[in-house]
Structures are given as structure tokens and as C-alpha cells.
Amino acid sequence: MIQPVQPINEEKRLQAVRDLDILDTSPEESFDSITTIASQICNMPVALITVIDDKRNWFKSKVGSKISESSREISFCTHAILDPKNMLEIRDASTDERFRDNPLVNDQKEGVKYYAGVPLLDPEGFPLGTLCVLDFKKNALNRRQKKALKALGKQVEILYEYRKKNKALEDIRNSLDENNKVLREFASTVSHDLKMPLANMILTADVLKAKYSSKLDEEGINYLNYLKQSGLTLSDYINGLLDHYSSGNFHAEIQQEIFLNDLLEDIIDLLQINETCEINLPDNNLKIHGNSAALGQVFMNLISNSLKYNNREKIVIDIDCTENREYFNFSISDNGIGVPEEKQQTIFELFTTVADKDRQGRKGHGIGLSTVKKLVESLGGSITIVSQEGKGTRMEFSIKRSDLAD
């Protein structure tokens, strides 16, 4: 028996094996189907997908073998990877000086006599292991079988690349999740820490105005009003941030029985609408099983936007709802200022505003619609905008029906 030498650039080859991160993983159907096909096409009792590390030849997939690995010193595949561009075929291992004293060959019950192995390469050309077939008697592959085995080897290489790309994407996703978690915690901490000083500033402005207004001229009163209004604007901004980063904490699986019109009437009461406004609710008081808090916050934000971004003497808001087997579908239409076409693609992104100023002359913070999008998606739905500048906006969104729904 002749033990195989190490391939050229063995350290780089081993690093390529480590980068694949597949050693000692569980069986996978995508790999097992290839070894099954290889065994059938080549008419061989054994087919393996192997990965060779520094000490062993490990089997990612196997057909017709009870063992899951072999020592590298006695492995046929370790010889095969020495010539990575060509298939190694051993028609009678008992007469080949490299293998005739090999314990895998000399086993009296299942001694390997035939071997054909296709090296599996990474994109840099480093051999990671093989796709191989074995027989317990002398044998040979014909031209078509060899071509098929090489083609199956290419499929394994493609699976390896998909695996690496999926792992890279998973690592990126985990990193983003961790960064988002840190950002949420940071935003929540900072926002909470700012709320009390802001409340004190707003209260102090009211106290100063009440106590010293007689001693201040019009300009001084205006400064106090500006101070209070700035505090209220910043407070709204902070509350919006808190809503945005806490919106991911809604649990879609928390289900309550909701009557839509009752929910909408409660929201309208909370908004304390002062402007001349007509809000038309759906004709039927639809019963919904869903997350009341999340759905309520979606409607609160959308109705509030219809009120704020509207320059009509009379505001008109129409709310409608339909249902099918999978979704509840909602729409909120208004006669407001509309959204410019160039903004409609980005309107649901964080810090994107509908207009420079709202009905009261205040600048929006661009958090509400991004929060709405997160909430709708957490409820298994989607949201879109249909708008024409100067003529109004219709927001359409859906939520997935619960299994509890009638």
C-alpha cells in the first residue's frame, strides 16, 4: 500500500474545507439524491460524497455504506484529489500497488475492488473531496457513465456554493438583527431619558407664561409659545421613535375579537378632531380576530395623516373593508394634498415625510408610515399607496386572517 502525499497548497485547501463548514453536519436530501442517482446510473452498490480534512475522509452522503468516515491514510479519495482536474478510476484495487494491502481492499466480506472518484472543487480550484462510486468486484464505467458521474459532481459543487452563499446571508442577517437590537435599545433608552426633561421644559414654559405674561411684551410671549411648541414637536418625535422601535414587539399570535367600527370610533374619539371633518365608516361592523393594539395603531397613524396633510375646508375620509378567504383588506381615502409621485416609492421609509409642513404648519418627523409598514407586515400583510398630488390619497393594506376567523 502506498499512502497518498499531501496535495499542493494543502493549507489553503484545508482552509477551503473549513470555509465550507459542512463537516459533521446532518444528512440532507439534496446531497442524498445525488448519491442515489450516481449509484443507479453507474450500477454500483456504493456511492459517496466525501469531504477530506487533515485526518479523515468524512462522508456527507452515502449509499450502501454503514460507516460515516475513514482514515485519510487508507482513503481512495485522498489519492483522487491529487489530480483535481481528472476522475480517478481503479478497476481492480487488489492488483494496484497503491491499494493492494489496504484494509478497505483486504476486508474479506466487503473488500473494495473498484473505485471511481470525481474531485469536487471550490471556485478557486481547491479539491474539497469527491463524488465516488465503489464496487466489491472488479468493474469499469463506460463513457456515458463517466460523463454522468462528472455532471453529478458539478451539481455537488453548485450545492456547496449555494450553501456558502446561504451561510453568508445568514451571517449578515444575524449581524443586522443584532445591530437592530442594539439600535432599538439605544433609541428606547435615549427616548425615555429625554421625555422627562422635555415634559419639564413644556411645563415650565406654561408656568412662565401664566406667571409673567403681564411683564413680557408680545415678542417675549411669542418666544415662550415657540419654546413650548418646539418641546411638543420634539416630544412627538420621541414618541414616534418609541412607537417605531416597539412596533416589532407586537405578537401577531395574540388574537382578540374586534368589531372594526367600534375600534374606529374609539380611535376617532382619541384623536379629538377639531377641524370640520366627515369620516365615513364601513357599512358593516365587521368582526375580526386579530391583534387589536397593532391594528389600532395602524388606523391611528393613517387617519391622523389624513387629517394633518389636508388643506380643504372640509376634510373627508372614507374607510372601507373587504374580506376573502386569506385576508382582511382595508382602505383609507382622503381628499388631502396627496403625495408627489416621486415620493410614493419611499414614503414608507423611516424619516420620509409626506410634505414639508402639515395642516398646522408643523414639520412631520417621518416615522409614522414606517411604523405602519412594520406593523402591517408583522400581521402578515402588506400596504400600498395610491395618490395624486392635490387630489387626495388612498392607503390600502391587508392583514392575514387568523385561523380563529369565521
Domain boundary among 123, 141, 159: 141
Percent of the chain with pLDDT over 90: 53
Judged against a pLDDT cut of 90, whether residue 278 lies above it is answered with yes
Q: What is the average per-residue pLDDT within 272-301?
A: 87
Does residue 290 have a pLDDT over 50? yes
SS3 state at 117:
strand
Are 125 and 268 within one domain? no
Q: For residue 218, is pLDDT > 90? A: no
- Rounded to the nearest integer, the mean pLDDT of the chain is 87
Among the residue ranges 73-82, 100-109, 175-184, the one predicted with the least confidence is 175-184
pLDDT-derived band at 176 (thresholds 50, 70, 90) equals confident
Pair 116, 141: CB distance under 8 Å: yes
| Structural domains of the chain, count | 3
230 lies in the same domain as 350: no
Over residues 33-48, the pLDDT tens digits come to 999 999 999 999 999 9
Per-residue pLDDT band for 152 (boundaries 50, 70, 90) equals very high
Whether pLDDT at 157 is above 90: yes
pLDDT exceeds cutoff 70 at 188? no
> Same domain for 288 and 355?
yes
State the pLDDT confidence band at 204, using cuts at 50, 70 and 90: confident
Tell whether 403 is covered by a domain: yes
**Looking at the structure, do residues 85 and 221 belong to the same domain, yes or no?**
no
Residues 285 and 401 in one domain: yes
Residue 115 backbone class (left: φ over 0; alpha: ψ -120 to 50; beta: rest): beta
Q: How many angstroms separate the Cα of 41 from the Cα of each of 36, 76, 347, 398?
A: 9, 21, 56, 51
Asked, for residue 3, whether it belongs to a domain, the answer is no
List of long-range contacts for 372-378, beta carbons under 8 Å, 24+ apart: 372/297, 372/298, 372/301, 372/302, 372/348, 372/397, 373/348, 374/244, 374/247, 374/248, 375/247, 375/250, 375/294, 375/297, 375/298, 376/298, 378/247, 378/248, 378/250, 378/252, 378/294
Q: Is the confidence at residue 286, as pLDDT, over 60?
A: yes
Identify the domain containing residue 197 by its residue range.
170-248
Q: Identify whether residues 381 and 274 lie together within a single domain.
A: yes
Per-residue pLDDT, 296: 85
